[in-house]
Structure formats: structure tokens, C-alpha cells
Amino acid sequence: MNPSRRSAMGTIAGALATLPSARGQDQPVFTPGPFQGTRESLRTYRAPEWFRDAKFGIWAHWGPQSAPEFGDWYARNMYIEGHRQYKYHVKKYGHPSKFGFKDVIPTWKAEKFDAEALMALYRKAGAKYFVSMGVHHDNFDLWNSRHNPWNAVKMGPKKDILGLFRKAAQRQGLKFGVSEHLGVSYNWFQTSHGADKEGAYKGVPYDGADPKYASLYHETHEAPKSAWVESNVPLKWKRHWYARIKDVLDQYQPDLLYTDGPIFFEEWGLGLTAHLYNMSAKKNGGRVETVYTNKSKADCPQGLCVLDLERGVVDQIWDAPWQTDTCVGHWHYDQEAVYKSPKIVLDMLVDIVSRNGNLLLNFPLPSNGMLDAGELKILDEITKWMAVNCEAIYATRPWKTFGSGPLAGNTSAPRQGSSDHHVAQAFNERNRKELGPRDVRYVRKGAVLYAFSMGWGAPEVVFPELALGGQYQVGKIRNVSLLGFKGKLQWTQEAGGLKVGLPAEKPSEHAVVFRVEGA
């Protein structure tokens, strides 16, 4: 067959395959385009340049679980007898057989919520994209949902949270993203169907067991130990999940979609991914300018999506772009949370960028929608640092090594091969310590190399990888300058590396950045 005819036939067949008459009601229906709902087709996806250039995004975990201001997974844990959040709930609201999560929802008023003010702060701090939570495991939608009456327009604040965030982000020139955490809700929320095993309310069913609230809490069923198990999830829930997340994509056309987990429900998740990419291609003259991130280590490094690591950093430089998502404290607002220091946050940003990643940083909003004093302090420190050093962050690419030092954490050998055999470990940030002057990181932009010293230590800083003719084959350096410092530096390039004398005053707190030219 003529190649062009074969291509045309394939396109027609692919388009027909998405029509209800061809696939039936038990298969996803999505926008026709260059991608089909198969792994083979979707693996040709590549992340757009805007995402690779952006490096830094801010995320808002917010919703009715923020109303108690007592941490993440509140809607599940308030039904686990003896749990910290169960005890808090009983004391604050009453027993969950009488005052359940459905009754928490109206207490979320968002009375100080100002999307415009928040976006202005985030843009000033250097974020290039903003992600709003769209729906968490609690089955509550933060938009004007066509498929779920439990949503923020009808209940709680009675506002289109996603719509307000999207408009504000676009006005500030930020890309807009949505995170969805809905897939595991079917099993995650089964704790609401239980009852106390002892005490005055022993055997009294929690409110989730009442069938009239099944649209929020789901039907009563035996749930596996892990909410992420899909084997018991019925087709009707997969269909419903697909319809709701497709509704988000159709109404808000986000630049980024984040799934909290892998690609759920196979053909349904693959169909949703194809829909996202095809919508973007249709809008952008065939170019896919949207990003899909999830946590599937089996898929994302091979194309298909961008790998997201929750509270983790990859071991080396990855050829494919990736993302760390983490939080200044707990995911949902917690009045007892201890926040990361600004130093730790900025250390992570530099470390991640040096390994070809992006940082998505969550600032959990309190119930009222306004950042607290501790969060504002962290944001202010990021703002000051980025004002001096952002040219070494945006639009950079990895160098031959991410860096070295006492706290490098992993090998600093030259990059080699693909990302296939590298280690991507989530939840490893708890072991992080603040980086110091002997910890160095590198990125490049064109012919310029940016060398980070992750602390301030007089009288000089040494970059061992920049030795003339050493293992990294560095040529003769022509000039070294310090971002934020207008004077001339004293420096030498020796067998032991590049040695730079430091000025009397540091140009910024935390890491300092040297602009190296001519190597």
C-alpha cells in the first residue's frame, strides 16, 4: 500500500475508533487527533519546551479537608477510631455517626480567598506555572462539575475555585494546571462506612453507611488494604471517573494535568491522556503544548507522560524531564505542621534543576484561603533569592554532572546512557540536610555554565569539576562573575579545580551562583 494512503487509513481508523458507534458505551470517547488511547501511540509524546524552561511551579492543596485545618487525608482518617484526626474530629465536631464529612463541607467558607492576590505573590516569587487541586480522594470537585453535585459551586464557598484560579494565573502570565486525585476514592473512602469497635458508640454506623449519601461516600463494599488496588473497582466507577476528569479538561483546558498515582483503569486512563494531548494539538496547530504528570515509573521515563516523584529526587541527571512535588509542610493545611526552612526549599530547587527536573511546591491554604505568616515568610525568601539568581534557573539544561560535595547523595559521575536504569525514589526528602559551601551544583544555558555554591564560606569556593583538562574536559575559562555582585572576582583555574575568592558580602542568602564563561 502507498505509505501516504496507509497513513491516511490509519488516521481514519483511529478517529472511527473513538466514536461511540465503533467502541460502544463501555469504552472512552475522546477527541480525535495524533494520539490514540494506546501505550504505543502515547509513547511518542514529548514534554513541551515551556515546561522544561519553567523549572518552578506552585501548587495549592485546598478544599473541604482544609476546613478543620488538621492535616491531610482528614476525610478518611476522621473515620478511623483512635486516629489523631478522629480524636480531633470528635472533640471539635462530634462523633462521625452524627457529624460526618458531609457536614464538614459547609464549614469551608473560603472567606478570605483572593486568587488574584495569590497569583501575584506566586509570580513575584518566580513561579512559572500554578497548579490547583481539582478533586482530592474526598470525591469533592472544586469546579462547576457537570457530573458531581458535591462541588464548590453548589456547596461550601459556592465559588468556581478552578475558574477563579485559572483566570488569575493567566492574567499573571502563568501556565495553569489541575491535579486530580480521584481514582482511588472508591476504596479510600470506605472507612466512612465503618463503626467504632468500642466505647459509647460501639457498632453505631458512621454516616458514610447511609445509602442516601452514596454519591459522596460511594456504595458500601469490601475494600482492599491499599486504596490503590484497582481489581475490585466496577466499570461504572471507571466511567464516572473518566467523565469527571474529562469535564475538567473540556471546561478549563489546563496546560498541565497531574494524576496522583499511575495511569488509572488502563483504557480509560489512556483514553483520557490521548484526549488531553489531542485537545492541545488541535488548539496549537498540531503541537502538543500540554503536560501530563503522574507517578508511573514504568511509563513516564519512556515517554507517554512526565514522571512525578512525591517528596523525592532522582539519583542522577535524567535525559527526560521530570518533576518533584513536595510541600512546605503537610499536604492539606495543618495548624500543627512544622514548615521546611527556606534554605531547604531553595536547596531542593537547585538540586532538582541540576538533574533536569522541575519543582512543584505546595503551599497549603488555610480554610479561609489566605496564606499564614510562616508560608509568607518562605515565599518572601524565595522571592528575594530568585530576584538575584533566576537567570541560573529558567531555561537551563543539565551539564555533564549535576555536581558533587559531602551531601551529593549519589554518584556525581558524568551522565551516561538513558534514564532507564537510574533510580527514582519517592519520599526520600526526609533524609535531606541543608547543603553547605562544599556542595556544588551545575547547569548550563547555551555557552554559559552556572556553578552553584550551596552555602557561603570564606575565603574561597572550589569547583573541582572545572579543573582545566580534567575528567570533564573543561577548556580554559575566560571569565567568572557572581550573580548579584558588580565587582570583579579573583579566581584561578588549577588542577584541583576552579577556585574563586569570595567578596566581603554575599549577594543573596542561601546558595550563590557563579557565571562561568569560555569553558
Residue given cell 476528569 in the structure block: 245
Q: Tens digit of pLDDT per residue, the chain (519 long)?
A: 443 333 333 333 333 333 333 344 688 999 999 999 999 999 999 999 999 999 999 999 999 999 999 999 999 999 999 999 999 999 999 999 999 999 999 999 999 999 999 999 999 999 999 999 999 999 999 999 999 999 999 999 999 999 999 999 999 999 999 999 999 999 999 999 999 999 999 999 999 999 999 999 999 999 999 999 999 999 999 999 999 999 999 999 999 999 999 999 999 999 999 999 999 999 999 999 999 999 998 888 778 999 999 998 988 999 999 999 999 999 999 999 999 999 999 999 999 999 999 999 999 999 999 999 999 999 999 999 999 999 999 999 999 999 999 876 543 344 433 444 455 565 567 777 889 999 999 999 999 999 999 999 879 999 999 999 889 999 999 999 999 999 999 999 999 999 999 999 999 999 999 999 986
Distance CA 305, CA 314 (A): 16
Distance CA 439, CA 465 (A): 12
Parallel, antiparallel, or unpaired for β 56-60 and 256-259?
unpaired
Domains for the chain: give ranges and CATH numbers. 311-519 (2.60.40.1180)
Q: How far is CA 22 from CA 19, 74, 338, 368, in A?
A: 5, 43, 54, 48
Q: How far is CA 97 from CA 64, 69, 186, 351, in A?
A: 18, 21, 20, 47
The predicted structure's pLDDT at residue 25? 63
Distance CA 293, CA 306 (A): 5
Distance CA 259, CA 64 (A): 19
Which run of H or of E encompasses 442? strand 440-445
Distance CA 196, CA 214 (A): 20
Contacting residues for 349 by C-beta, under 8 A, at least 6 apart: 55, 56, 359, 393
Report the chain's terminal Cα–Cα distance, integer Å.
53
Strand-by-strand arrangement of the 448-453 sheet: 403-404, 440-445, 448-453, 512-517, 479-482
**8 A C-beta contact, residue 165 and residue 130:** yes
- From the list 376, 374, 381, the residue with the least C-alpha distance to 345 is 381
The predicted structure's pLDDT at residue 221? 96
Q: Taking the model in full, what pTM does it have? A: 0.92
CA neighbours within 13 Å on the CB side: how many for 235? 5
**8 A C-beta contact, residue 78 and residue 101:** yes
Distance CA 422, CA 314 (A): 8
Which cell numbers in the block locate residue 257?
Answer: 494535568
The predicted structure's pLDDT at residue 412? 37
The predicted structure's pLDDT at residue 27? 87
Q: Is 389 helix (H, G, I), strand (E, B) or coil?
A: helix
Beta bridge partners of 481: 515
**8 A C-beta contact, residue 109 and residue 368:** yes
